[in-house]
């Protein structure tokens, strides 16, 4: 039976079992406890910069709480990176606020600082007030130009919430992402650099900010001998069981980052020898990417075997291992989709037992956000149409990468 090579799956070290067993033995099977405290301390040590960390049920929950802590309310606007997964923008809508989308610059594929300032000034002109927060994203683990983004944000007094969900361990000029802004977001989903099966964390600037986030995340209870609530809270804390997994995972985080970089180097060396396909690499030494997912871009005139059958029939399920239930779209095309050669390569690799995936479809091209203001330069849409994600996780071996490269070479006509 042919081995299936997945895009990015978690790898267990065996050390997780010790912490999980301790939770059962001591009956700490709740969303607090020694593992939660220990995991937060491990994360605090890793990110450094004197920051504090709160372990939460998801990275999405972390964004939600950060927005609340920054004072975002119904009727406000929040600037979001368009080229990202929907979890970066969805929490804005939970609060009745409006995501304002900003396109990418070509080097890192992340938020364009020039467009960011243009958007800020235009929203002030149109609404009479500045956006309440800015959310840059470390797309596929590639750092954003945080010094320029922070300079603009500070100029107009707007807090920055760093979405480093895909960028755990990535660094900008040597400093860990998520530690520059007012808050930083991490994710421990099953496909991230480390996993707690599901979960996330919020990096806070000090103990006071951490305590406020923890209060919000535990139903916002007041100090009375009974349950008194004077604000709306949430059930967002990470369980002690999941945190036990995280503590074991933290012992191999550096190994995972090194492995992802090693896999990236193999793709880099191989793809630079191919005409018509290029590896997306760090623009300069300032960008110390974790290469959570390795991505490549196909020239529009590159032809792939089976290209005539790309988009021949509607997809019935979800591409990319989506969890849960998806709606059957019923149609073959949308108004913004990967080029035929990209879809043909995905199908070719799939038949070879290799999972690949299109890039994130820009938020400003998603039907659910069709009426949202967007400041675009065409970069995200252009890259989305030409890009593909390749297997990059800790379960991907050198032999797997060699097989993937051979398969890509065989697919090119």
Q: Which of 138-142, 180-184, 280-284, 314-318 has the lowest mean pLDDT?
A: 314-318
Average pLDDT for 320-345? 81
Three-class SS state of 362: coil
Strand order in the sheet with 200-204: 52-56, 200-204, 183-187, 161-163
Give me 84's structure tokens.
């990202």
Average pLDDT for 233-247? 96
- Predicted local distance difference test score (pLDDT) of residue 314: 77
> What gap in Å lies between CA 73 and CA 179, rounded to an integer?
24
Q: Which pTM value belongs to this model?
A: 0.95
Average pLDDT for 314-329? 65
The closest alpha carbon to 263, from 299, 288, 290, 286, belongs to 290
Average pLDDT for 20-46? 91
Average pLDDT for 15-23? 89
Q: Are 6 and 355 in contact (CB under 8 A)?
A: yes
Q: Are 69 and 91 in contact (CB under 8 A)?
A: no
**What end-to-end distance do the CA atoms of the chain give, in Å?**
27
The mean predicted confidence, pLDDT, of the chain is 95
The closest alpha carbon to 39, from 183, 244, 255, 257, belongs to 244
pLDDT for 382 beyond 90: yes
Residue 309 phi/psi, 5° resolution?
-100, 0
The closest alpha carbon to 389, from 349, 353, 352, 332, belongs to 349
Percent of the chain residues topping a pLDDT of 70 = 96
Dihedral sign of CA atoms 22, 25, 26, 27 in order? positive
Residue 112 phi/psi, 5° resolution?
-80, 115
- Predicted local distance difference test score (pLDDT) of residue 136: 98
Average pLDDT for 344-372? 97
- Predicted local distance difference test score (pLDDT) of residue 329: 64
pLDDT for 321 beyond 70: no
pLDDT for 334 beyond 80: yes
Give me 175's structure tokens.
């400093």
Give me 319's structure tokens.
């591409």
In the CATH scheme, what architecture does the domain 16-253 have? 3-Layer(aba) Sandwich (3.40)
pLDDT for 213 beyond 70: yes
- Predicted local distance difference test score (pLDDT) of residue 27: 86
The closest alpha carbon to 277, from 295, 251, 264, 261, belongs to 295
> What gap in Å lies between CA 86 and CA 67, rounded to an integer?
16
Query: What's the pLDDT band for 323 if we cut at 50, 70, 90?
Result: low
- Predicted local distance difference test score (pLDDT) of residue 320: 54
Q: Are 53 and 210 in contact (CB under 8 A)?
A: yes
Average pLDDT for 167-182? 98
Give me 90's structure tokens.
């969805």
In the CATH scheme, what architecture does the domain 254-411 have? Alpha-Beta Complex (3.90)
Q: Say what angle helices 34-47 and 16-25 make with each other, to 10 degrees.
A: 150
Q: Say what angle helices 398-411 and 253-271 make with each other, to 10 degrees.
A: 30
Domain edges within the chain: 16-253, 254-411
Q: What's the chain's length in residues?
A: 413
> What gap in Å lies between CA 1 and CA 3, rounded to an integer?
6
Average pLDDT for 234-243? 96
Give me 124's structure tokens.
């002030």
> What gap in Å lies between CA 162 and CA 44, rounded to an integer?
16
Q: What is the DSSP letter of 72?
A: -
Q: Are 310 and 343 in contact (CB under 8 A)?
A: yes
Q: What is the phi-psi region of residue 295: left when phi exceeds 0, alpha when psi lies from -120 to 50, beta otherwise?
A: beta
> What gap in Å lies between CA 386 and CA 308, rounded to an integer?
17
pLDDT for 100 beyond 90: yes
Tell how strand 183-187 and strand 175-176 pair up.
unpaired
Beta bridge partners of 189: none
- Predicted local distance difference test score (pLDDT) of residue 117: 98
> What gap in Å lies between CA 295 and CA 358, rounded to an integer?
9
- Predicted local distance difference test score (pLDDT) of residue 317: 66
Q: Over the stretch 103-131, which tens digit does the pLDDT of each residue have?
A: 999 999 999 999 999 999 999 999 999 99
Q: Which of 27-31, 297-301, 327-331, 347-351 has the lowest mean pLDDT?
A: 327-331
Q: Over the stretch 221-236, which tens digit does the pLDDT of each residue have?
A: 999 999 999 999 999 9
Burial class, 155, CB count within 10 angstroms (exposed 0-12 / middle 13-18 / buried 19+): exposed
The closest alpha carbon to 8, from 189, 242, 199, 246, belongs to 189
According to DSSP H, which parts of 11-83 are helical?
16-25, 34-47, 59-69
Q: Are 277 and 344 in contact (CB under 8 A)?
A: no
- Predicted local distance difference test score (pLDDT) of residue 365: 98
Measured from the Cβ of residue 87, the count of other Cβ atoms closer than 10 Å reads 21
């Amino acid at each position: 039976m042919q081995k299936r090579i997945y895009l990015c799956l978690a790898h267990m070290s065996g050390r997780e079992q010790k912490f999980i067993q301790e939770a059962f033995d001591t009956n700490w099977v709740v969303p607090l406890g020694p593992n939660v405290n220990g995991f937060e301390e491990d994360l605090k040590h890793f990110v450094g910069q004197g920051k504090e960390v709160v372990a939460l049920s998801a990275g999405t929950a972390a964004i939600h709480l950060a927005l609340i802590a920054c004072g975002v309310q119904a009727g406000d606007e929040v600037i979001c990176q368009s080229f990202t997964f929907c979890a970066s923008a969805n929490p804005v809508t939970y609060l009745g606020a409006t995501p304002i989308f900003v396109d990418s610059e070509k080097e890192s594929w992340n938020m364009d600082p020039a467009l960011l300032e243009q958007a800020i000034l235009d929203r002030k002109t149109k609404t009479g007030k500045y956006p309440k927060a800015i959310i840059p994203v470390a797309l596929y683990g590639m750092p954003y130009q945080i010094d320029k983004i922070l300079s603009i944000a500070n100029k107009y007094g707007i807090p920055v919430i760093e979405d480093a969900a895909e960028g755990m361990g990535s660094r900008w000029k040597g400093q860990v992402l998520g530690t520059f802004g007012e808050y930083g977001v991490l994710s421990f989903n099953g496909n991230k650099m480390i996993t707690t099966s599901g979960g996330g964390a919020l990096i806070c600037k000090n103990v006071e900010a951490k305590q406020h986030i923890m209060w919000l995340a535990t139903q916002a209870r007041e100090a009375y001998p009974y349950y008194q609530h004077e604000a709306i809270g949430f059930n967002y804390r990470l369980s002690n069981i999941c945190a036990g997994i995280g503590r074991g995972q933290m012992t191999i985080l550096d190994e995972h980052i090194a492995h992802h970089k090693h896999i990236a180097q193999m793709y880099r060396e191989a793809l630079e020898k191919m005409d018509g396909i290029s590896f997306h690499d760090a623009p300069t030494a300032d960008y110390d990417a974790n290469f959570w997912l390795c991505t490549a871009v196909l020239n529009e005139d590159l032809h792939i075997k089976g290209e005539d059958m790309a988009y021949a029939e509607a997809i019935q399920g979800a591409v990319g291992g989506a969890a849960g239930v998806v709606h059957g779209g019923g149609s073959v095309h949308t108004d913004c989709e990967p080029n035929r050669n990209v879809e043909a390569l995905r199908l070719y690799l799939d038949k070879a037992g290799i999972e690949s995936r299109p890039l994130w479809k820009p938020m400003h091209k998603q039907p659910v956000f069709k009426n949202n203001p967007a400041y675009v330069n065409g970069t995200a849409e252009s890259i989305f149409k030409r890009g593909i994600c390749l297997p990059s996780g800790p379960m991907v071996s050198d032999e797997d990468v060699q097989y993937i490269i051979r398969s890509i070479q065989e697919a090119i006509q």
